[in-house]
Chain A
Amino acid sequence: MKRIYVNEKWCLGCHLCEYYCAFANSGKDSMVKALKNVTINPRIRIEEHGGISFAVSCRHCEEPICTKSCITGALTVNDGVIQIDKDKCVGCYTCILTCPYGAIVPSDTGAIQKCELCINNSSGKPACVAGCPNKAIVFEEKE
């Protein structure tokens, strides 16, 4: 399955991935409309310290702990992609506690949000990958 991988060697810490993510999941048709005067809450986040930076988003683990921890069955694996059913999520945040990557965060509505590889939004393919200026984030099949 194709997954998002990051290569910190090429990450510039420009944070564009966060903005492209926030825009792709905003449902708006222009980035200005979506993000002007907004504090973004993206599903991918740059971790940086001492000159090293890299983007972190859901790894779509083969044996995910988050789905096992979900008390309502809101998190499910569909064709390898871990997806969230926001109608089922009760906001207990157990998944946030269990995710070893810190890739799940609360959404602005109370339910959790996480990277779903942009399959359910207007982008259709990972917007962070398309927007990365230095190929530090790639979407590919690996062993």
Chain B
Amino acid sequence: MAIDFLYPEYEIKRDRDKCICCRVCERQCANEAHWYDPELQMMMCDSAKCVNCHRCVALCPTRALKIVKTDHTFKENANWTGEHIAEIYRQAGTGGVLLSSMGNPKKYPIYWDKMLINASQVTNPPIDPLREPMETKVFLGAKPGKVEFNSKGEIKNNLPPQLKLEVPIMFSAMSYGSISYNAHESLARAARELGTFYNTGEGGLHEDFYKYGANTIVQVASGRFGVHKDYLNAGAAIEIKMGQGAKPGIGGHLPGIKVREDISRTRMIPEGSDAISPAPHHDIYSIEDLRQLVYSLKEASDYKKPVIVKIAAVHNVAAIASGIARGGADIIAIDGYRGGTGAAPTRIRDNVGIPIELALAAVDQRLREEGIRNNVSIVVGGSIRSSADVVKAIALGADAVYIATSALMALGCHLCRSCQKGNCNWGIATQRPELVRRLNPDIGYKRLVNLVTAWNHEIKEIMGGMGINSIESLRGNRLMLRGIGLTEKELSILGIKHAGE
């Protein structure tokens, strides 16, 4: 194009005094933003190609590089922001739907940051987790409502299948295809070491990873990729994906270029064909239909595995969750609008869905009111950023949380939000072998274990401060939360008091 209406969003700044022309930036940039000019004997760069992933910055041995947000500006105003202007130019140039990845980045309220946690003073003293036992073990699954006896008067074991988590944190669904083999191996090994679970996502389970089955949740989504009897029985639980927080009401599309030999075999689709997940499950148009799928999967797995139903947090989430609980699910997973994705239409990602905090509070409240809260466990995801978010989620009523964006960041993701391009310089959201190689699972899994272990230490510290020694006593304990800067309506949905009350 003769005229490019857009100036690069980020600029590569090189300190020429420090640059030794080792060319590591050039060799590590899959976007080809750097090159060496032998005539000038200098490293050159094109900021227009930079996605701000920091791979070059992280590897530069002399710290000669940094990326800055450009101060070049449009004549923007409060209504026509630079973002709106740039997007119009992009669409006028291409005629296409704007694509983005990772979670909703817009300035909507983050309720985690508007809730404060309690601590004990004088009465009900705090507990020191370094000196006293502190329990963060969680069991997910339906809990029996009553004790039953057989004809001899012995207690019958009527406990439905459960997932045992050593920490109240699981890795949420990311398919093999959307992320790399090495990213999956890192997640699987970390889940095993941590005593928790990772989730295959909708792309099936690679044959190499069946050995991690005891720590795997296998997913069944609308595309049914890679679903067969052995797959269903390979994991510890089966998850039906009805929706995803980043793109509620939208299916998925893995471009054919990423469907290489391995992925084609795992997904059970021809090599090079686009993997398209329909927006709906074509066999589910009601709660009754969902119930049929739940029980089909239970039947296929001999009633030995809990079934999870995952939905995006949308307007009527409480009623939907109630239906799911009545549909026979053992666990409900709710994904908030900040949840990540490998690719979503920008407008959907940025404008559809509701905050996970409100959805969680509404669902927990509704299920309690209907007396069916113990029939299901609740798992929430969609931008859990720290151990404090975990504690607040559990106090609002969650049994455990799902993390994915945070997990990818532990593996090196710098939130450049360019996953859809398939050129991930960190070896995560790519299938190019020379890029996948950059993520060594020996390093990756250890970093995941470190992250979750650190969070678990912090969770114990925070619980200790509240005088609580078991995560069971924290769940749904909304008295431990106070709102700050929230309206009466927000407080009533969250079911918490305002700070000072």
Contacts and interface: CB of A to CB of B under 8 A. Distances in A.
A16 B24 contact: yes
A16 B437 contact: no
Given A14-B27, A15-B27, A16-B59, A135 B440 contact: yes
Nearest to A11: B437
Nearest to B412: A133
B24 A14 contact: yes
B259 to A, nearest CB: 21
A131 interface: yes
Interface stretch (A30-38, A57-65, A100-108, A110-118): A30-38
Given A20-B61, A51-B433, A133-B59, A12 B22 contact: no
A84 B19 CA distance: 32
A15 B24 contact: yes
A14 B443 CA distance: 17
B61 A31 contact: yes
A64 B19 CA distance: 39
Interface in A1-31: 9-10, 12-16, 19-20, 23, 31
Contact of B438 (A51, A131, A134): A134
Contact of A31 (B62, B437, B442, B443): B62
A32 B18 contact: yes
Interface string B14-25: 000111101110
A32 B442 CA distance: 31
A37 B219 CA distance: 55
Contacts of B24: 14-16, 19
Contact of A16 (B22, B438, B440): B22
A39 to B, nearest CB: 10
Given A15-B22, A19-B61, A32-B20, A134 B434 contact: no
B28 interface: yes
Contacts of B58: 133
B27 A134 contact: no
Given A12-B28, A15-B22, A19-B22, A32 B443 contact: no
14 contacts: A10-B440, A12-B28, A14-B24, A15-B23, A15-B27, A23-B61, A32-B18, A35-B20, A35-B22, A38-B20, A51-B433, A51-B434, A134-B440, A135-B440
Task: Decide if the interface of chain A is mainly helix, strand, loop or mixed.
Answer: loop
Contacts of B28: 12, 14
A15 B24 CA distance: 7
Interface string B418-437: 00000000000000011001
A59 to B, nearest CB: 22
Nearest to B182: A10
Contacts of B61: 16, 19-20, 23, 31, 131
A135 B433 CA distance: 17
Contacts of A134: 437-438, 440, 443
Nearest to B17: A32
Nearest to A138: B442
B287 to A, nearest CB: 49
Contacts of A15: 22-24, 27
Contact of A19 (B17, B20, B433, B434): B20
B53 to A, nearest CB: 14
A53 to B, nearest CB: 10
A36 B23 CA distance: 13
A121 B18 CA distance: 23
A36 B64 CA distance: 12
- Please provide the 9 A-B residue pairs with the shortest distance between their CB atoms, ordered closest to farther: A35-B20, A19-B22, A134-B440, A10-B440, A14-B24, A31-B62, A32-B18, A32-B62, A36-B20
A13 B442 CA distance: 18
